[in-house]
Structure 1
Amino acid sequence: MVLVSGTKILPESDVTPRLSHGDGDHERFSHFADKNKITESYVTGAPVRALCGKVWVPSRDPKKYPVCPECKEIYEGLPKGEPPSE
Structure 2
Amino acid sequence: MSAPTQTLPEVDTRPEGTDTTTDDTPKMFHYVKKDKIVESAVMGSMVVALCGEVFPVTKAAKPGSPVCPDCQKIYESFKG
Q: TM-score range by the shorter chain?
A: 0.5 to 0.7
Q: What is the number of equivalent residue pairs in this alignment?
A: 59
Moved over 4 A (4+): none
State the secondary structure of the residue aligned to 2:31: coil
Larger Rg: 1
Unaligned 5+ runs, structure 2: 1-20
Provide the rounded CA distance (Å) in 1 between the counterparts of 2:41 and 2:22: 22
State the secondary structure of the residue aligned to 2:42: helix
Provide the rounded CA distance (Å) in 1 between the counterparts of 2:29 and 2:43: 20
Please provide the CA RMSD for this pair. Answer: 2.3
TM-score (norm 1): 0.58
Provide the rounded CA distance (Å) in 2 between the counterparts of 1:62 and 1:50: 14
Unaligned 5+ runs, structure 1: 1-20, 81-86
Structure 1 or 2: more strand by fraction:
2
CA distances 1:19-57 after superposition (whole Å, capped 9, x unpaired): xx761546x211101111011101110000000000000
TM-score (norm 2): 0.62
Provide the rounded CA distance (Å) in 1 between the counterparts of 2:42 and 2:72: 26
Provide the rounded CA distance (Å) in 1 between the counterparts of 2:22 and 2:54: 23
How do 1:2-21 and structure 2 match up within 5 A? none
Percentage identity across paired residues of the two chains: 41
Asked whether the 8 Å contact 1:30–1:63 carries over to 2, the reply is: no
How do 1:24-63 and structure 2 match up within 5 A? 24-25=24-25, 28-63=27-62
